């Protein structure tokens, strides 16, 4: 193996430490803790784990965690009313509605009801527009985490050729916007892309956000390229009845060619919640009118 491993777990731990320092300074200045409200509707097991981890890490960073767990049969009107209450609550700086929502709810409508200045997930159309036009807002956590890892690894990204595989609203599209803002030359690939291996081979930076286990092979990668694997796929393990997590990149072959690569698990995954906490402390400072050098976090 020649690639250096990009340790997202360690980077996320450092980020949480910096947020902890900012959170206690915020509490001293504002006379209250920064607060994150997380809303979970229904009993999806994966969502329950995410919400529990978010709550734990929020508290560990010295912020207030408000958890709202609603039954799956909650009406959309009741959920919207809760979001409005959180919008109006001065103790709440960030609001996150855990997706997916039950089928009888309109996710876009729910997201559109969140005050954009408390939308720490960065999914509100106002924040999507702010990102696209270069205005300060909130950027979705996973792609922002990827850019933090890339800048930590490479320094300036200016002029580099980047390929983003995937065009979802949550990862692919905001990732492309962020890389454009870093002055990369960006190609966005998706399921209709012709000759994907050839497209990937041109890239100095490859971001894989596809949801297909180990799809991107080592022979697709330009020697020395930096590979960011966003994928989280559960596949059958070597032992019967056991499963394991793999990314969208075939780590075994890609790590012999790439210059640097994120592992799965332990790469991008741990960054997502850490960036959510980063967005929350940023929201708290903005909402309270307290100055903060956001670029230094
Ligand atoms: P989506 O399913 O929303 O999007 C997948 C994208 O991949 C689509 O744009 C799709 O193209 C494209 N795609 C599918 N098949 C191919 C193919 N054969 N060749 C090229 N492109 C293809 O997924 P998400 O963006 O939500 O997530 C992507 C991955 O990232 C998943 O594994 C998910 O679990 C993981 N993830 C990890 C997070 C983390 O915290 N680390 C957070 C969020 C996601 P098209 O648009 O044409 O259909």
For 53-74, how does the pLDDT look when each residue is reduced to its tens digit (9 = 90+)? Answer: 999 999 999 999 999 999 999 9
Verify that 147 and 245 share a domain, yes or no.
Answer: yes
Verify that 111 and 165 share a domain, yes or no.
Answer: no
Render pLDDT for 253-281 as a digit per residue (tens, 0 to 9).
Answer: 999 999 999 999 999 999 999 999 999 99
Q: Identify which of 47, 53, 171, 193 to mutate to test ligand 1's pocket (most ligand atoms within 8 A of the CB).
A: 171
Residues with CB under 6 A from ligand 1: 142, 165-168, 170-172, 189-193, 196, 209-212, 230-233, 248, 268-269, 272
Instruction: For residue 131, give Cα distances in angstroms to 11, 134, 173, 183, 229.
Output: 24, 5, 10, 14, 22
Q: What is the dihedral of CA 206, 209, 213, 218, to 10 degrees?
A: 0
Write phi, then psi, for 30 (nearest 5 degrees): -95, -15
Verify that 65 and 145 share a domain, yes or no.
Answer: no
CA angle 31/68/287 to nearest 5° reads 35
Verify that 70 and 191 share a domain, yes or no.
Answer: no
Residue 277 lies in a domain: no
Instruction: For residue 37, give Cα distances in angstroms to 73, 140, 261.
Output: 20, 16, 34
Residue 90 lies in a domain: yes
Q: How confident is the model at residue 204 (pLDDT cuts 50, 70, 90)?
A: very high
CATH number at residue 104: 3.40.50.10860
Checking if the pLDDT of 1 tops 80, the result is no
Q: How confident is the model at residue 238 (pLDDT cuts 50, 70, 90)?
A: confident
Q: How confident is the model at residue 240 (pLDDT cuts 50, 70, 90)?
A: confident
Cβ neighbours of residue 105 under 8 Å, at least 6 residues apart? 41, 76, 79
> Could you list the active site residues?
54, 98, 121
- CA of residue 119 to ligand 1 center, whole Å: 22
Residue with tokens 């997916």: 100
- CA of residue 120 to ligand 1 center, whole Å: 21
pLDDT of residue 241: 87
Q: Supply the range of the domain harboring residue 222.
A: 141-270
Residue 155 lies in a domain: yes
Q: Identify which of 107, 190, 229 to mutate to test ligand 1's pocket (most ligand atoms within 8 A of the CB).
A: 190
76-85, 156-165, 239-248 — which is least confidently predicted?
239-248
Rg of the chain taking only CA atoms, in angstroms: 19
Number of domains present in the structure of the chain: 2
Q: What is the Cα–Cα distance from 54 to 37, expressed in whole angstroms?
A: 10
- CA of residue 9 to ligand 1 center, whole Å: 22
Render pLDDT for 118-128 as a digit per residue (tens, 0 to 9).
Answer: 999 999 999 99
Checking if the pLDDT of 155 tops 90, the result is yes
Render pLDDT for 217-227 as a digit per residue (tens, 0 to 9).
Answer: 999 999 999 99
Verify that 264 and 158 share a domain, yes or no.
Answer: yes
Verify that 152 and 188 share a domain, yes or no.
Answer: yes
Verify that 163 and 264 share a domain, yes or no.
Answer: yes
Helix (H), strand (E), coil (C) string for the chain:
CCCEECCHHHHHHHHHHHHHHHHHHHHHHHCCCCEEEEEEECCCHHHHHHHHHHHHHHHHCCCEEEEEEECCCCCHHHHHHHHHHHHHCCCCCEEEECCCCCCCCCHHHHHHHCCHHHCCCCCCHHHHHHHHHCCCCCCCHHHHHHHHHHHHHHCCCCCCEEEEECCCCCCHHHHHHHHHHCCCEEEEECCCCCCHHHHHHCCCEEEECCCCCCCECHHHCCCCCEEEECCCEEEECCCCCCEEEECCECHHHHCCCCCEECCCCCCCHHHHHHHHHHHHHHHHHHHHCCCCCHHHC
Checking if the pLDDT of 51 tops 70, the result is yes
């Amino acid at each position: 193996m020649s690639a250096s491993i990009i340790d997202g777990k360690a980077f996320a731990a450092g980020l949480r430490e910096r947020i902890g320092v900012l959170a206690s300074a915020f509490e001293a200045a504002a006379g209250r803790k920064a607060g994150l409200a997380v809303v979970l509707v229904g009993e999806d097991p994966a969502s329950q784990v995410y919400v529990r981890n978010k709550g734990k890490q929020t508290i560990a960073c010295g912020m207030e965690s408000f958890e709202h767990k609603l039954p799956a049969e909650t009406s959309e009107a009741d959920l919207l009313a809760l979001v409005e209450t959180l919008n109006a609550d001065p103790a709440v700086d960030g609001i996150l509605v855990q997706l997916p929502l039950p089928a009888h709810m309109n996710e876009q409508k729910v997201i559109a009801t969140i005050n954009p200045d408390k939308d720490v997930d960065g999914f509100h159309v106002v924040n999507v527009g702010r990102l696209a036009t270069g205005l300060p807002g909130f950027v979705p956590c996973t792609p922002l985490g990827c850019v933090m890892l890339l800048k930590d690894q490479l320094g300036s990204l200016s002029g580099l050729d980047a390929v983003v595989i995937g065009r979802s609203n949550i990862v692919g599209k905001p990732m492309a916007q962020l890389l454009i803002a870093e002055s990369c030359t960006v190609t966005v690939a998706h399921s209709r892309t012709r000759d994907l291996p050839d497209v990937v081979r041109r890239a100095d930076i490859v971001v894989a956000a596809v949801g297909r286990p180990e799809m991107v092979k080592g022979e697709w990668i330009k020697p020395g390229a930096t590979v960011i694997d966003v994928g989280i796929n559960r596949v059958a393990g070597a032992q019967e009845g056991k499963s394991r997590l793999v990314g969208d990149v075939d780590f075994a072959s890609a790590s012999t060619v790439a210059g640097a690569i994120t592992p799965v698990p332990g790469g991008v995954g741990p960054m997502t919640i850490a960036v959510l906490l980063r967005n929350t402390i940023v929201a708290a400072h903005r909402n309270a009118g307290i100055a903060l050098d956001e670029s230094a976090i």
